[in-house]
């Protein structure tokens, strides 16, 4: 299947060129001159674990990082990564909707909520019974400000047949908590800390806190591209552990993995069925739902050239949406531009996009990262294949395309006719 998918992807991908990217934490716009070429030291041939991955240091919690890394720590504490799971008893403002207003879907009270999960697109609510947490039956649609049922139905996630059709018999430990905490212990059901703490991405920090050294901590910025990206893909992907069940329960996260090890030794990504729309994928192999950025990204030309998630995102926190290192309108221009070998190969950005400079249609993400992946109801997030999806793909495969995802009042026929008017636009990209 991977070979078939690779062949399909090749038909979409642009001509291979050396990729130029910025260094971690630095922006390098083409206007400032050529950016550095991503060297071969960022690639890995045999995917050997990072030396820091073998460290036996204990987990010590994010607070142990604060004294030495105060500015970064302060930024991180304000991110959604640091606040994805909140206790309404200690954070009274955590619950977004008013639970005192009656709604037929809401059968629980504030006192029933042990944890609140999420705040950007949707908010879910967990109750505690014994040493487990369980999802309550309603979730809040943040965008549309309405309640929606929360229940994972049949023929959706792969793990559904392994649990009864009852939220109170589907603990969040196996299905959620491994990615919403640091070092979840599958036997004791205890965590070092809730949320995506420092050690989720840097590994156990005990040795480093006691004797700070680059040699005793994992830093994705100094890892090869595969291990660096696996830091994010471990949770931003749909897949299954290679071993299941574990202690009699089926887990939906890579149990046993920690950064610096080979994620592929613990986790397999969900495969698309080319030509068929499934719960996870469109017929062309593009992800169909949220939290599949990793599934998309590994099929992209960007990933193949050694680009990493943190070339575009800084999870320690920025003022930009999605913690982008630059606003969405300019983040791609760190590496792409008329003067860059990476393209676009047109005299100006406007001549490439055929949209007015400064308009939404002139942003790279408008065409190369359309919002087509569902997070809740009619709220979608951006794809991460970076491939332009032509209107013909909608006609043939029923996948939303880049054009009418923005021009919602127009038809696929209109979009195809407009593309044919674009000077220099290859007719083969319309098919």
pLDDT digits (tens, 9 = 90+) for 188-221: 999 999 999 999 999 999 999 999 999 999 999 9
348 vs 7, higher pLDDT: 348
CA angle 324, 40, 263 (to 5 degrees): 65
Cα separation, 73 vs 62, whole angstroms: 8
SS3 335: coil
For range 305-334, the mean pLDDT: 97
Q: Is 94 a member of any domain?
A: no
Each residue's pLDDT tens digit, 381-424: 999 999 999 999 999 999 999 999 999 999 999 999 999 999 88
Q: Answer yes or no: are the C-beta atoms of 398 and 144 closer than 8 Å.
A: no
Cα separation, 47 vs 132, whole angstroms: 36
Q: Is 41 a member of any domain?
A: yes
Q: Six-digit token pair at 194?
A: 């809730």
In b/e form, how buried is each residue of 5-16, taking b as 16+ CB within 10 angstroms? beebbeebbeee
CA 363 to chain centre: 20
Cα separation, 373 vs 46, whole angstroms: 33
Q: Six-digit token pair at 11?
A: 């038909």
Q: Is 261 a member of any domain?
A: yes
CA 63 to chain centre: 25
For range 131-146, the mean pLDDT: 98
pLDDT band for 50, please (50, 70, 90 cuts).
low
Domain count of the fold of the chain: 1
Mean pLDDT of the chain: 89
Query: What's the count of helices (H) and strands (E) in the chain, helices before strands?
Result: 12, 12
Cα separation, 59 vs 204, whole angstroms: 4
Closest CA to 20 of 429, 329, 301: 301
Strands (E) across 82-216 are located at 85-86, 115-117, 122-129, 132-135, 138-141, 146-149, 181-182, 193-194
Q: Is 21 a member of any domain?
A: yes
Quick one: pLDDT at residue 51? 57
CA 286 to chain centre: 14
Quick one: pLDDT at residue 105? 98
Each residue's pLDDT tens digit, 60-95: 999 999 999 999 999 999 999 999 999 999 999 999
Cα separation, 305 vs 21, whole angstroms: 10
Question: According to DSSP H, which parts of 41-137 are helical?
Answer: 70-77
Q: Is 182 a member of any domain?
A: no
| Length of the chain counted residue by residue | 431
- 3-state DSSP percent of the chain in helix, strand and coil, to 5: 30, 15, 55
Cα separation, 319 vs 290, whole angstroms: 22
pLDDT band for 22, please (50, 70, 90 cuts).
very low
* pLDDT higher than threshold 70 for residue 265: yes
Q: Is 28 a member of any domain?
A: yes
Quick one: pLDDT at residue 56? 53
Q: Is 405 a member of any domain?
A: no
Quick one: pLDDT at residue 34? 34
pLDDT band for 427, please (50, 70, 90 cuts).
confident
Which domain range does residue 339 map to?
A: 1-50+218-372
46 vs 132, higher pLDDT: 132
Q: Is 73 a member of any domain?
A: no
Percent of the chain with pLDDT strictly greater than 70? 87
């Amino acid at each position: 299947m991977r070979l078939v998918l690779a062949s399909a992807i090749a038909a979409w991908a642009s001509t291979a060129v050396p990729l130029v990217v910025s260094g971690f934490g630095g922006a390098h716009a083409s206007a400032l001159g050529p950016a550095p070429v991503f060297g071969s030291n960022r690639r890995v041939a045999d995917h050997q674990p990072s030396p820091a991955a073998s460290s036996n240091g204990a987990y010590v919690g994010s607070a142990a990082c604060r004294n030495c890394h105060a500015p970064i720590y302060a930024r991180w504490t304000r991110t959604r990564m640091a606040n994805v799971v909140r206790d309404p008893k200690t954070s009274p403002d955590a619950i977004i909707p008013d639970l005192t207003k009656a709604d037929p879907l809401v059968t629980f009270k504030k006192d029933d909520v042990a944890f609140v999960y999420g705040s950007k697109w949707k908010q879910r609510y967990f109750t505690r019974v014994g040493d487990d947490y369980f999802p309550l039956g309603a979730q809040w649609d943040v965008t549309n400000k309405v309640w929606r049922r929360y229940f994972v139905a049949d023929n959706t996630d792969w793990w559904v047949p392994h649990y009864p059709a009852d939220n109170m018999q589907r603990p969040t430990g196996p299905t959620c908590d491994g990615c919403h905490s640091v070092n979840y212990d599958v036997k004791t059901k205890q965590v070092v800390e809730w949320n995506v703490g420092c050690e989720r991405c840097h590994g156990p920090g005990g040795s480093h806190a006691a004797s700070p050294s680059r040699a005793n901590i994992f830093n994705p910025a100094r890892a090869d591209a595969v291990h660096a990206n696996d830091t994010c893909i471990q949770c931003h992907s749909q897949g299954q552990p290679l071993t299941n069940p574990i202690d009699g329960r089926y887990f939906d996260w890579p149990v046993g993995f920690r950064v610096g090890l080979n994620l592929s030794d613990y986790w397999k990504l969900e495969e698309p069925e080319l030509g068929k729309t499934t719960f996870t994928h469109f017929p062309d192999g593009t992800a169909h739902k949220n939290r599949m950025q990793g599934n998309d990204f590994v099929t992209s030309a960007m990933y193949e050239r050694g680009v990493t998630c943190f070339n575009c995102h800084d999870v320690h926190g920025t003022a930009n949406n999605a913690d982008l290192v630059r606003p969405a309108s300019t983040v791609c221009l760190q590496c792409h531009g008329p003067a860059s070998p990476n393209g676009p190969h047109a005299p100006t950005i406007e001549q490439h996009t055929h949209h007015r400079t400064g308009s939404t249609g002139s942003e790279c993400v408008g065409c190369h990262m359309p919002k087509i992946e569902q997070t809740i109801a009619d709220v979608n997030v951006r794809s991460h294949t970076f491939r332009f999806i032509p209107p013909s793909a909608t006609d043939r495969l029923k996948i939303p395309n880049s054009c009418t995802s923005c021009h919602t009042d127009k038809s696929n026929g209109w979009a195809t006719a407009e593309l044919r008017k674009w000077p220099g636009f290859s007719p083969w990209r319309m098919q």
